[in-house]
A = this chain, B = another copy of it.
Amino acid sequence: PPGQPEVIGCRSYDKETVTCWWKSGSDGGLPTNYTVLYWTERTKTEQECPDYHSSGPYTCFFDKAHSSLWMYYFVYVKATNALGSNVSDIYRFEIGDIVQTYPPRNLTLFHESEKSSLPYLLVTWVPPKKADVKMGWITLQYEVRLKEEKKHVWEEHLVDHQTKLKVFSLTPGEDYVVQVRCKADSKHWSEWSEESYIKIPGGPRKRDMK
């Protein structure tokens, strides 16, 4: 019979819909059919995955109509071929546990040295797409990291709910790379945003360089 398939994990980008990923076991070269099945805390009867396609191959997508805020989901994969069938372990989740948003967007850097007694780097960003922050549905916490391009150690800063940060005392004349990520309802960090770069003005003039 086919090797044991596996539900790799499930994730909600917006605390409203859910995507699960799965993978097949060894199929011994035989044509094998895979079915994703689930039940919930309330409807004990088993149902088939409502949408195998929207999230790409080897996925199952639960849209708003099929996902609930109020109960646990139990998901597993069944592999069947001419020699028999095999089932994965059951993956259990409730939507609150699997919220992991997309990264924040529009990361912009601005070096301010006129308007302030102390020059600083102003880092700003906007919440990730699909994270309905205005309704308070998802509360986000942000973390910014930056380092000099040529160095390896990141400087990381947790900034609660703010969508901007002033960083003081950066080395004039150096190139910096900056990223930001966010955590929804203190569960899972998003991926880091794209990198942004800036050169901090000032620093030793070329002639002085030994």
User: Which residues of chain A have a CB within 8 Å of any CB of chain B?
Assistant: 116-118, 120, 136, 139, 155-162, 164-174, 203-204
Contact = CB atoms under 8 A, between A and B. Distances in A.
A117 B168 contact: no
Nearest to A162: B168
Number of copies: 2
A173 to B, nearest CB: 6
A118 B159 contact: yes
B157 A166 contact: no
A160 B117 CA distance: 13
A83 to B, nearest CB: 57
A171 B120 contact: yes
A162 B52 CA distance: 42
A74 B168 CA distance: 42
Contact of A160 (B136, B156, B172, B174): B136
Contacts of A172: 118, 168
Given A117-B204, A155-B117, A203-B117, A160 B166 contact: yes
Contact of A168 (B136, B139, B155, B171): B171
A160 B133 CA distance: 12
A158 B117 CA distance: 8
Contacts of A171: 116-118, 120, 166, 168
A161 B139 CA distance: 13
A203 B168 CA distance: 10
Contacts of A168: 157, 159-160, 162, 165-166, 169, 171-172
Contacts of A204: 117-118
Given A165-B168, A166-B171, A168-B171, 10 more contacts: A117-B155, A117-B156, A117-B174, A118-B203, A118-B204, A139-B160, A157-B161, A160-B165, A162-B168, A168-B169
A136 B139 CA distance: 14
| Residue in A136, A156, A161 whose Cβ sees the most chain B Cβ within 10 Å | A161
